[in-house]
Amino acid sequence: MIISMRLGATQKEIDHVCERLQEFGYKAHPIFGVERVVIGAVGSGENKEQAMESIEAAPGVDSVVAISHPFKFVSREGRAEKSVIRVNGHGIGGNEFIVFAGPCSVESESQLLETAEAVHKAGAHILRGGAFKPRTSPYDFQGLEEEGLKLLRKAKERTGLAVCTEVMSASEVDLVAEYADILQVGARNMQNFNLLKRLGKTQRPVMLKRGMSSTIKEFLLSAEYIVTSGNPNVFLCERGIRTFETYTRNTLDLSAVPVLEELTHLPIIVDPSHATGKRSLVPAMSRASVAAGADGLMVEVHPNPEKAFSDGPQSLRPADFAKLMQELRPYIDLWKVARTAAQRPALVRNA
Ligand code: PEP
Ligand code: MN
């Protein structure tokens, strides 16, 4: 269950609720938000109904909601309104379809600036690009690290696009957060729990990518780590999972989009580039992602894919990307109609 304390509830009232929860056999996890304190009660206490009634009657308590899922704070049961993460004037999870685009790796100033200008012109909202690269082989390009972050800053200054880039370890969170508007957790790090906990100590928006062998439950529990550690500004990215199929790099689990829409209030974007591994498949999977109701897309773009240091085969050329943005227009128009018709109440967060 989740207990929302009243605005201005005292520490004594909070402690009292935590003690009562323990008496009923629950573990209490208070989260001190900017406005109010919310307490997550985890475990299978014995008399759940009695416990809920008793806690509801305790001083300082506003409401008590039963949550059946193991992920409490990210669950829709606890909050019906979708979270909207505000970045550079855009709302991820709101009534605008957000497109992230850019190279897999930041390779050089000219490569990044050329790509940034092209994707900006084509209508992307956020520039992506890896400076710290999690590569399967130790012999592959590992990223320009801080020099890459500086180039991302330059590209932001040049285009006005907010920047999303990966952080691979807890010790690098402060450094990457100095340059990035959005901190990306890559698929390989989805269960790097120290990193997740450390990301809870910043308020910078975090894009959590689904681990390639992770279930939806594991995915949401990883998001729960960040939120319970103190950072509610989290959104999810479906990037394909590993199946027996080898024709595509991964299998895009598009059903994850409506499943996550049911289970969580966190926004969800789709990465058709890593999901398919093939440039030719990116447009169809992008259209399908819009139709499935995703909140946005992340697409890899490179000015010269044959010479890319990483993920060339799945990278669109700038002209392909501009064409894709044009093709997506009618789909996004319909998406907007559906969004507005749904009139989902949204909780807007200013990160
Ligand atoms: C990336 O976005 O460049 C990346 C490495 O993706 P993933 O973690 O999904 O493999
Ligand atoms: Mn990549």
Task: Answer yes or no: is pLDDT of 92 > 70.
Answer: yes
Name the pLDDT band for 47 (thresholds 50, 70, 90).
confident
Across 285-312, average pLDDT: 98
* Closest protein CA for atom 3 of ligand 1: 104
pLDDT at position 347, please? Answer: 57
Residue bearing the bigger pLDDT, 79 or 96: 96
Q: Are 300 and 315 in contact (CB under 8 A)?
A: yes
Closest ligand 1 atom to 105 CA: 3
DSSP state of 6: P
Give distance in angstroms: CA of 274 to centre of ligand 1.
Answer: 7
Residue bearing the bigger pLDDT, 349 or 323: 323
In a domain, 70, yes or no: no
Provide the token pair at 224. Answer: 């729960």
Alpha helical stretches, state H, the chain: 11-23, 48-56, 109-122, 146-159, 173-179, 193-199, 216-228, 256-263, 272-276, 282-292, 318-342
Average pLDDT, the chain: 95
What's the predicted TM-score (pTM) here?
0.93
Task: Answer yes or no: is pLDDT of 207 > 80.
Answer: yes
Task: Answer yes or no: is pLDDT of 314 > 60.
Answer: yes
* Domain boundaries, position 42: 2-65
| 17 and 102 assigned to the same domain | no
The residue from 65, 97, 114 where one domain ends is: 65
pLDDT at position 349, please? Answer: 56
- Which of 137, 144, 184 to probe ligand 1 with, by most ligand atoms within 8 A of CB? 184
* Closest protein CA for atom 8 of ligand 1: 186
| 111 and 55 assigned to the same domain | no
Across 20-30, average pLDDT: 93
Quote the distance between the C-alpha of residue 102 and its chain's center: 17
Task: Answer yes or no: is pLDDT of 34 > 80.
Answer: no
Give distance in angstroms: CA of 191 to centre of ligand 1.
Answer: 14
Q: What share of the chain is helix, strand, coil (3-state, %, to 5)?
A: 40, 20, 40
The residue from 65, 90, 114 where one domain ends is: 65
Provide the token pair at 198. Answer: 């450390």
| 242 and 109 assigned to the same domain | yes
Closest ligand 1 atom to 130 CA: 3
Task: Answer yes or no: is pLDDT of 345 > 70.
Answer: no
Q: Which ligand is nearest to the CA of 136?
A: 1
Q: Are 211 and 190 in contact (CB under 8 A)?
A: yes
Ligand 1 pocket (Cβ < 6 Å) reads 104, 130, 134, 186-188, 209, 239, 274
